[in-house]
Amino acid sequence: MNEGYEGIKFNVTFLKETAPSHSQLDELKKWCTVFHEKGLAPPYPGGSYGNLSFRTNRSSFIITGTCMGLKENLHDDCFVEVTDVDFEYKNIFVYGLRNPSSESMLHAAIYKFRPDVNAIFHGHCEVLLHNAITLGVPETAEEKPYGTIELVDSVLEIAGSTDFLI
């Protein structure tokens, strides 16, 4: 496991233990490969820093599973469909065979806050981080721990005004 990773920080309720199926899943797999090849989701032993998702309907989305490497030849069972999120009790309801990405609450909050957003690509790129001001990319006020409501709140503070943020 990678240093600093403590696992998911929410409860998962499996509503159906089957791999998700959707006509856009192959497109998401292609973007996972692009993120891997371009170094936008750097690998660590057992996974990658980053997660991708797309909206399947008004309240559901398919997201990469936790501790999964974004690379070529991904199978449907590498993904999870999140059908509902209870932010108060930190409970996520899913269809899938593995736990969803540790940033599933963040993706759910953005989809809820921004009905116009249909996909979220969350990467970790040092070049972008170090050049955010020069590039004019909005940043959260301060870094918050991954997978937390605090991170969700800090992202939502600026998510309404931009489609790209750090």
Query: What is the pLDDT confidence band of residue 130, given thresholds at 50, 70 and 90?
Result: confident
Can you spell out the DSSP letters for 46-101? TEES-EEEEESSSS-EEEEBTT----SS--GGGEEEEEEEETTTTEEEEESSSPBP
34 burial type by CB count under 10 A (0-12 exposed, 13-18 middle, 19+ buried):
middle
pTM for this prediction: 0.92
Question: Which residue would you say has higher pLDDT here, 127 or 79?
Answer: 79
Per-residue pLDDT for 86 more than 60?
yes
Give pLDDT, residue 134: 92
CA distances from 118 to 51, 55, 70 (A): 14, 5, 20
As a whole number, mean pLDDT of residues 109-116 equals: 95
8 Å CB contact between 90 and 105: yes
**Cα separation, 57 vs 71, whole angstroms:** 26
As a whole number, mean pLDDT of residues 88-116 equals: 96
Q: Which of 87, 72, 62, 76 is nearest to 33 (CA)?
A: 72
Which backbone phi and psi does 134 adopt, to 5 degrees?
-60, -40
Give pLDDT, residue 114: 94
Strand 79-86 vs strand 61-64: parallel, antiparallel, or unpaired? Answer: antiparallel
Per-residue pLDDT for 117 more than 90?
yes
As a whole number, mean pLDDT of residues 137-166 equals: 90
8 Å CB contact between 41 and 49: yes
pLDDT tens, position by position, 43-72: 888 888 889 999 999 889 999 999 888 887
8 Å CB contact between 93 and 35: no
Per-residue pLDDT for 120 more than 70?
yes
Domains of the chain: 11-125 (3.40.225.10)
Per-residue pLDDT for 3 more than 90?
no
Give pLDDT, residue 29: 95
Instruction: Tell me the sheet residues that pair with 106.
Output: none
Structure tokens at 55: 């909206």
pLDDT tens, position by position, 39-51: 888 888 888 888 9
Give pLDDT, residue 2: 52
Per-residue pLDDT for 1 more than 50?
no
